Amino acid sequence: MKSLIFKTASSYLLPLLLLFSIFILLRGHYLPGGGFVGGLMASIAFLIHSFAFGLKETQSIIKINPGYLMPIGLAFAVGAAIAPFFVDAPLLKGLWFEEPFRFIGMVGSALIFDIGVYLVVIGATLTIIFSITDTV
Amino acid sequence: MLVAVVLGFIFALLVPFFSRFTKRAISLVYPLIPLFLFLYFLGFLEKIKSEGQILFHYNWVPSLGIDLSFRLDGLSLLFALMITGIGTLVFAYTANYLKGHQYLDRFYGYLSMFMASMLGVVLSDNLMSMFIFWELTSISSYFLIGFNNDDPASRKSALTALSITGFGGLVMLSGIILLQVVGGSYSFTELLNSSEIIKNSNSYGWIIALMFVGAFTKSAQFPFHFWLPGAMKAPTPVSTYLHSATMVKAGIYLLARFTPLLGDTIWWNSTLVTVGAITMVYAAIHSVFRVDLKGILAYSTISALGILVFLIGIGTEKSLLAAGIFILAHALYKAALFLITGIIDHETGSRDVSKLAGLQKVMMPVAIAGFLAALSSAGLPFLLGFISKEVMYEATLQLGNWALILTALAVLTKILLLVAGFWAGIKPFTGNLPSEFNKAHMPSPLLWVPPLLLGFLSLGFGMFPFFIQESLIQPVFSSISGSDTTIELKLWHGFNLVLLLSVLTLVSGGLLYFFLKPSKALIEKTFKFEVISPQNIIENGSNLFGSFARFWTRFFQNGYLRNYVITILAFLTLLMAYRLFGEVNIYIDWEQISTVSYYEAIVVLMMIISIIFAISTNSRTTAIVALGVVGFANCLFFIFYSAPDLAMTQFSIDTLTVLLFMLVLVKLPKNKSFSSKGMKFRDAFLSLTFGVLIAILTLEVFEEPSSSEVSKYFADNAYLLAKGRNVVNVILVDYRGFDTMIETVVLVIAAAGVFSLMKLDLNPSKKDL
Amino acid sequence: MEILLVVIIGFLHAGGLYMLLRRSMFKMIIGLILLGNGANLLIFLLGRLVKGNPPVIEDGLKVFTDIYADPVPQALVLTAIVIGFGLQSFAIILIKRVYNVLNTDDLDELNSTDEEI
């Protein structure tokens, strides 16, 4: 897997795929996509990078241990779920900002929730794969 | 009232904590609790006399119709007084009897737990709560019988007692439920109003049969009697309290309680009379073949319980009155005899009645108590036992055709019981003291006062029956018989047949006592019949059941995963096949089926080929690649049929799975073929059948209408309510957001599992370095 | 086309079960995945097949005007796929780990290893 073409390609692929995964995440509410798919795409992006450059390199790019993404993601999801409590609404009720944001579109608690899912999926998948490659 | 019942439970909970701080001295304070309850119940005497019954109501599980309602009438009051009164004496007695025992506090805990549950049984108006308390008495009795838990015999007896009484309790539960179905209520008071409906219903036979099993097991009636002699392994206070005075009478209580509701039918009466008569004669004969004091008392208790069942079964007013008096008389004298046995055992270390003699020289008060109890049990004039015996003979003599044989049986039982009572209460206290018991000395007052008190009560109630006639016996009689005839207890009935029978009983019993000496040789003769004893038959039955269960478990739980899968799926397949081929017609609406385009056909073909590859190949890489193809073909189907989200997800997951497999499995050894041809054929056959059935099932589901309310609601409101256009995503993050949240947690758990599996150091040798 | 899919579902279940009954752990996991695929397809099929109309409301509209594919089975299957991945990866790691410790792939040899670990 140390071919030059693969290395060069994957170093460009990583940011592209990550960007794509965020795009997929954000448009999920209106077009096919969403947190699950986005998270999986991002994981694949990192996986491809680690194939080309080795695990150490990829880990140094991510900086933090992917395991930490799981609690952060869960916190996002739970936060979005209990946010309606503060305005006296039932659990998980969708709350929305009145006006759409530029580039992103409508932002609401559902999007925060989806971001949580996205982070959990990346965290879980990368944890699984890294702990395997680590010991192979 | 609730407090009165629960007090014992609270106490049982607190005892172990108390005793840690207060050492042992506090055990002298414990009897105050039953004493307090005794006085509390004594306070109701006047009220019950005038009002008949008092109801207390507390909600518990209103949705199931189960509540804590307590009903205090004559019968429950008599039992409550016996439970707390004898309880007080037993608590005091125990303080000395088990002095310094390591687990004394635990013993008190069990004892008060039992007391509370027994109170619950006799006071509950709701049959469900009565059942719960009923089972609690079985459980506390289990703890108490097995109190000496380092003795295997003790453990075995405890288990026998628990299984018999617990089994009976469960049978009774079904009876109660049936009663509720027919009578429409769990409340005894309400059921009383529908007594006629219940008696005339088709289930009546079942109800009384089930109730009888409950009562007979608890009250040790033939053929369930054998647990009671075994239960004598318990410390003597327990035998006194549970196994003669109170718990075993729970069955009697049940029968007496239900007499106004279910009684007075031919089935009720004849069953009870038959079982009671068999039990009383059988156990009475047994009791004179024993030499162990406790054995004698155990069998005479069974016999007395038989008499009670017999009397309730006769069902006339006289006989019910006799039962009411006998419950009290028996509790008083039998508890005294048990306590005396405990003292003798404590002081001499022996319970062998053929050796014991002459103890009056060292323990006069105990001897007096013994004499009083034995004479009351024999039914000598001026003792309560006399009155109960007189009324009983009167009752049996009234029965027309059956009078002769039933009276004869009653007299025979009474004669034998007289002998048994004399052996237990008089024999140890007459004659000369054998030298081996020289060390025996006067016990502490805590031991001898309780039996003496009971003895004097027998004497007092016997001499002055008017003392209890109106306050206690009259309400008991009214609540058992349901009639309000005024009763009269008399010592002197004049010269008549009853008196003659009494004299006959006393004389022949006395003669028998002088001529028949207890000896071991007699017992050994009875052992020949052990083979056909109910105990043996039931024990063999349960052993057989045990080995069958073992065989069954071994057969199915054989430790091979695939055998489990085969068993489960073969069963499932058979079940489905039965259902599908039996009643279902497959009808395919060709109009609705979409046509097949060439690219779809290619994908289908690809999929089938790759499935076959994945199954048949022996190379790992081929299998993984084939699996990948299956996944991608699946993904194509999702694209064809309007599921872009699914397609994307399936695609990414498939990629990840294949990569994962590749990462991990490169290092694994070569595939080996483990299975024989026959096994492969069997598995293939099962799998194909299963697959075909699943396919048929799928076709079957197509019959159902396709439009679902839920989907329509979700789709219609996706934008209006949730501001999203992708309905699938809206379902995931909004409508069913909670599910998704839990799902992410599952994913996190899987990741944590993988992480710990990989990092876990399973090689212990490394730790040593 | 539905009939063909039904046949495939049957095949997937049969194949999955057959592999599940093998002694090799590796084959067992293959069976597990095949069964998972079969079940997903089954649920998906129960929502009926609709061509070219994903359950996405068109821009500018507030409700569906055309027919659309049933979104509920899709949401179910999506969840099932992701959970299935968690399960599969755990199973894959498990066999690797077992192989590392016990040096075998044979399920039957796992019966008496309680004290060895």
The verdict on a CB contact (< 8 Å) between A32 and C78 is: no
How far is Cα B250 from Cα A77, in angstroms, rounded to an integer? 59
Would the pLDDT of B12 be above 80? no
pLDDT of residue C114: 47
Size of interface A-C (CB pairs under 8 A): 14
Q: Distance (Å) from the C-alpha of residue B647 to the closest C-alpha of chain A?
A: 10
pLDDT of residue C38: 92
CB C93 within 8 A of CB B754: yes
pLDDT of residue C39: 92
Q: Which of B226-240, B330-344, B482-496 has the lowest mean pLDDT?
A: B482-496
| Counted domains in chain A | 1
Phi, psi of B336 (to 5 degrees): -60, -45
- On whether residue C13 sits in a domain, the answer given is yes
pLDDT of residue B695: 87
Q: Please, which pLDDT band fits residue B705 given cuts at 50, 70 and 90?
A: low
Contacts of C55 in chain B (CB under 8 A): 642, 715, 726-728
Q: What is the pLDDT of residues A29-81, one digit of tens each?
A: 778 888 888 998 898 888 888 888 887 888 888 778 888 888 888 888 888 88
Contacts of B663 in chain A (CB under 8 A): 129, 132-133, 136
Q: Please, which pLDDT band fits residue B363 given cuts at 50, 70 and 90?
A: confident
Of A32, A121, A131, the CB nearest to C56: A32
Q: Distance (Å) from the C-alpha of residue C90 to the closest C-alpha of chain A?
A: 8
pLDDT of residue B525: 63
Would the pLDDT of B247 be above 80? yes
Q: Which of B99-113, B345-359, C3-17 has the highest mean pLDDT?
A: C3-17
Residue C108's closest chain B neighbor by CA? Answer: B560
Q: Distance (Å) from the C-alpha of residue C98 to the closest C-alpha of chain B?
A: 10
How far is Cα B478 from Cα B132, in angstroms, rounded to an integer? 27
How far is Cα A14 from Cα B337, in angstroms, rounded to an integer? 93
Q: Distance (Å) from the C-alpha of residue B640 to the closest C-alpha of chain A?
A: 14
Write out chain C's pLDDT in tens, 117 residues.
Answer: 778 888 899 999 999 988 888 878 888 888 999 999 999 999 888 887 878 788 888 777 777 777 788 888 888 899 899 888 888 888 888 887 777 777 766 666 665 544 443
Would the pLDDT of A3 be above 70? yes
Q: Which of A93-97, B346-350, B353-357, C86-90 has the lowest mean pLDDT?
A: A93-97
Q: Which residues contact B607 (CB under 8 A, 6 or more apart)?
A: B629, B630, B633, B634, C8, C11
pLDDT greater at residue B607 or residue B440: B607
The verdict on a CB contact (< 8 Å) between C21 and B562 is: yes
CATH 1.20.120 placement within chain B: 561-709
pLDDT of residue C37: 92
Residue type, position A55, single letter: L
Phi, psi of B53 (to 5 degrees): -150, 155
Mean pLDDT of B761-767: 52
Would the pLDDT of B531 be above 60? no
Place of tokens 């061509």: C51
Distance in Å from the first CA to the final CA of chain A: 16
Residue B739's closest chain A neighbor by CA? Answer: A92
H/E run at residue B630? helix B620-640
Q: Which residues contact B751 (CB under 8 A, 6 or more apart)?
A: A67, A70, A123, A124, A125, A127, A128, C86
Q: What residues pair up with B54 in beta bridges, in sequence order?
A: B72
Residue type, position B226, single letter: F
Whether pTM > 0.80 for this model: the answer is no
Single out the residue of B458, B455, B88 nearest to residue B80, CA to CA: B88
The verdict on a CB contact (< 8 Å) between C72 and B657 is: no
Residue C26 is part of which domain span? 2-52+67-107
Contacts of A74 in chain B (CB under 8 A): 744-745, 748
CA count, 13 A, side-chain hemisphere, B57: 7
How far is Cα B100 from Cα B103, in angstroms, rounded to an integer? 8
Would the pLDDT of A1 be above 60? no
B666 and C CB contact within 8 Å? no
Q: Distance (Å) from the C-alpha of residue B92 to the closest C-alpha of chain C?
A: 53
Mean pLDDT of B545-560: 79
- Give CA angle at A75 (A72, A76), nearest 5°: 90
Q: Which of A24-33, B16-25, B65-74, B167-176 has the highest mean pLDDT?
A: B167-176
- Structure-token pair, residue A130: 């890294």
Residue A36 is part of which domain span? 4-135
Would the pLDDT of B674 be above 70? no
B660 and A CB contact within 8 Å? yes
Single out the residue of B121, B753, B748 nearest to residue A131, CA to CA: B753
Mean pLDDT of B273-287: 87
Report the neighbours of B using a cutoff of 3 or more CB pairs below 8 angstroms: A, C
Of C22, C26, C37, the CB nearest to B630: C37
Contacts of B645 in chain A (CB under 8 A): 32-34, 37
pLDDT of residue B524: 64
pLDDT of residue B764: 52
| Counted domains in chain C | 1
Would the pLDDT of B532 be above 50? yes
Size of chain C, expressed as the number of residues it contains: 117
Q: What percentage of chain B has pLDDT greater than the value 90? A: 2
The verdict on a CB contact (< 8 Å) between B725 and A30 is: yes
Domain B561-709: CATH architecture, name and number where available: Up-down Bundle (1.20)
- Structure-token pair, residue B496: 């008549």
Name which of C56, C68, C77, C85 to mutate to probe chain A: the one with the most chain A Cβ atoms within 10 A of its Cβ. C85
H/E run at residue B525? helix B520-526
pLDDT of residue B768: 42
Mean pLDDT of B56-73: 75
HEC profile of B362-403: CCHHHHHHHHHHHHHHHCCCCCHHHHHHHHHHHHHHCCHHHH
Domain CATH number, residue C41: 1.10.287.3510
Q: What is the ipTM for the molecules in this complex?
A: 0.90
The verdict on a CB contact (< 8 Å) between A43 and B656 is: yes
Report the neighbours of A using a cutoff of 3 or more CB pairs below 8 angstroms: B, C
The verdict on a CB contact (< 8 Å) between C2 and B686 is: no
CB-based burial of residue B684 (10 Å sphere; 0-12 exposed, 13-18 middle, 19+ buried)? middle
How far is Cα B374 from Cα B423, in angstroms, rounded to an integer? 8
Kindly report the average pLDDT of chain B as a whole number: 81
Residue B639's closest chain A neighbor by CA? Answer: A32
Chain centroid, CA C55 distance in Å: 23
Would the pLDDT of B767 be above 50? no
C54 and A CB contact within 8 Å? yes
CB B743 within 8 A of CB B733: no
CB B285 within 8 A of CB B414: no
Q: Which residues of B200-222 are buried (b: 16+ CB within 10 A; e: fewer)?
A: ebeebeebbebbbbbbbbbbbbb
pLDDT of residue B520: 62
pLDDT of residue B414: 86
pLDDT greater at residue B30 or residue B310: B310
Name which of B565, B617, B629, B630 to mutate to probe chain C: the one with the most chain C Cβ atoms within 10 A of its Cβ. B630
Q: Please, which pLDDT band fits residue B174 given cuts at 50, 70 and 90?
A: very high
The verdict on a CB contact (< 8 Å) between C89 and B634 is: no
Chain centroid, CA B474 distance in Å: 33
pLDDT of residue B202: 83
Place of tokens 């703890």: B143
Report the neighbours of C using a cutoff of 3 or more CB pairs below 8 angstroms: A, B
- Structure-token pair, residue B365: 């008060």
Mean pLDDT of A75-103: 74
